[in-house]
Structure 1
Amino acid sequence: MNLSFSHKTFNTQFKIYKGKTMSVRPLTDEQLKEQAPVLFTEQPHFETSDKYHFVSSIDVINEIKSHNWHPVSVQQSSVKDEDKDGYQRHVVRFRHFEDLLNPKENAVELLLFNSHDRSTAFSISAGIYRFVCSNGLVIADSVFESYKIKHIGDRANDIHTAIDKITSFKPQLEYKINKFEALKLSTGEREAFAKSSIALRFPEHLEVDYKDLLVPHRDEDNKDDLYTTLNIIQENLLSGNVSGVNKETGRRFTSREITSIGKDKEINQGLWDIAERISSIKEPEMALAA
């Protein structure tokens, strides 16, 4: 697929990719505060112990920005307990300056996960953003282990080490995407991928047709490679609207969109792990073909 943009200047607020509008300018502090006020919380939840060492998310964001990674999206969890509002789980996605300046079909991202109520470990992970469908993948820990940032010790050094690790891993991840795109899957292999992914989203008593997970939502996804298959299944699992039957009650249901930060990450990492296993099985075939 070829990139087609209306302009090539970094200062342009939006660009068009295959008819989709995407922001190419980092989020400002004002935008971050509007979309996720929790980032600017200045103290931990009152139920945390005295041993809990608070680290401000906005301080970490500013530290990451100083290493040429810029925030492009943010999400904070909804809360049932109003006392937790302002302390809940949140995630910020960063993109490197080079990828903002020269966007490609897939961008390696840095993801910051945190909370101020001990519900989420403070960590930095690797991810991928796919422009054609606005999918945000999260790399499985088996490939890139999330770097846990401790709430103690030399905070700046911890963050610097994590950023260095992901920055150095970026070329390897881009190579892996290309390898996944080169791996063609048979119909049976694509179906096996879909079947293996069902448990990531649906418990045993909810029965769905695995074929529904392989239905593409755009012409660009009418392909049979591993990477496209991964993204099709991911989009169907996360966006919802998959119909099925509750085997215990006999009632039909339609899945809803996944909005939980934790569940989104779990499904993404699980799908990437399945794709890695498929790749390891298919690689000998590629070697023989070469």
Structure 2
Amino acid sequence: MSVLPLNENELRNQAPALFTEEPHYDVSDKYHFVSTIDVISEIKSLNWYPVSVEQSSVKDEDKEGYQRHLVRFRHFDDLLNPQENAVELLLFNSHDRSTAFSISAGIYRFVCSNGLVIAESVFESYKIKHIGDRYNDIQTAIDKITSFKPQLQHKINSFESITLSQAEQESFARSSLPLRFEKHLEVDIKDLLVPHRDEDIKDDLYTTLNVIQENLLRGNISGVNNVTGRKFTSREITSIGKDVDVNQGLWDIAERIASIKQPEMALAA
């Protein structure tokens, strides 16, 4: 269950955009460039270490090296003593104005290697300005996520304590469909509830959230296009933006379910 931080060579091989040293030529003169790899070094100095990285594919080759990228960090304590779930720091950036420089909160679930992204209704993304005292901005954001860790772990425990009936699980799956499928694409919601490991054969809210998330993201869900009548099979989501939208949408649905099943939890939040 242990994991080692990525070294500089691994970062460079997996996401060269992290090392870009100037903005795309198409940005305005008002744009103030911030080097992602410099920020990674600053975050590491605050005891958060990069454990995974990805960058978006580009249709326009001219944007290669400037595209959106995501770096996930884990705290030194969680690397030293890994638990079932780890709170992560998510850094988003691009060098072509396509993505705001921001830090968000996430959860890594070791049993399925799923990386959740917390909805902004729970933890608001902290935007890092391209001007001003960048180090203080970053330190403030990291301090905020660090202080939020116990609250987030309590949230996970609360979700795990909420049992869902089969009908409620299906309602969760049905509510999640618009996050991935357009209205004319019909799928069997029960396919979204199929677990892929014994550890996920449970009926609690947190496990249901993770099972649906995995099925939406990994694809291989069959359905019918009601406009053309053709059958289709969903593909794995590889877009950083779509991945985040699905994750945050699922977390929002889980929050609404929790507020119905345990109103006192919503009042305490």
TM-score bracket relative to the smaller structure: over 0.9
In 2, distance between residues paired with 1:188 and 1:277?
Answer: 16
The question of 1:259 aligning with 2:238 is answered yes
CA deviation string 1:3-28 (max 9, x = no partner): xxxxxxxxxxxxxx4xxxxx611111
Q: Closer, same or farther in 2 for the Cα pair 1:185/1:33, shift >3 Å?
A: same
Per-residue deviation, 1:284: 3.8
In 1, distance between residues paired with 2:60 and 2:225?
Answer: 30
Counterparts of 1:12-27 in structure 2, within 5 Å, are 17=1, 24-27=3-6
Counterparts of 1:1-290 in structure 2, within 5 Å, are 17=1, 24-284=3-263
In 2, distance between residues paired with 1:164 and 1:284?
Answer: 30
The alignment partner of 1:107 has SS state of: strand
Runs of at least 5 residues in structure 1 that lack an aligned partner in the other structure: 1-16, 18-22
TM-score, with structure 2 as normaliser: 0.97
The alignment partner of 1:213 has SS state of: helix
The alignment partner of 2:43 has SS state of: helix
CA deviation string 1:160-217 (max 9, x = no partner): 1100110000110011001111111111111100000000000111111111000000
Q: Closer, same or farther in 2 for the Cα pair 1:206/1:44, shift >3 Å?
A: same
In 2, distance between residues paired with 1:189 and 1:229?
Answer: 10
Alpha-carbon RMSD: 1.2
The alignment partner of 2:71 has SS state of: strand
Runs of at least 5 residues in structure 2 that lack an aligned partner in the other structure: none
CA deviation string 1:96-139 (max 9, x = no partner): 00000000000000000000000111100000000000000000
1:186 counterpart letter in structure 2: S
Q: Does the aligned pair in 1 maintain the 2:180–2:246 contact within 8 Å?
A: yes
Per-residue deviation, 1:30: 1.1
2:127 counterpart letter in structure 1: K
TM-score, with structure 1 as normaliser: 0.90
Residue identity over aligned pairs, in percent, reads 80
In 2, distance between residues paired with 1:75 and 1:114?
Answer: 11
The alignment partner of 1:137 has SS state of: strand
Aligned residues: 266
CA deviation string 1:252-288 (max 9, x = no partner): 000000000000000000000000000111114899x
1:219 counterpart letter in structure 2: D
In 2, distance between residues paired with 1:237 and 1:69?
Answer: 29
Q: Does the aligned pair in 1 maintain the 2:259–2:265 contact within 8 Å?
A: no
Q: Does the aligned pair in 1 maintain the 2:258–2:265 contact within 8 Å?
A: no
Per-residue deviation, 1:150: 1.0
CA deviation string 1:206-261 (max 9, x = no partner): 11111100000011100000000000000000000000010110000000000000
In 2, distance between residues paired with 1:76 and 1:285?
Answer: 41
1:202 counterpart letter in structure 2: F
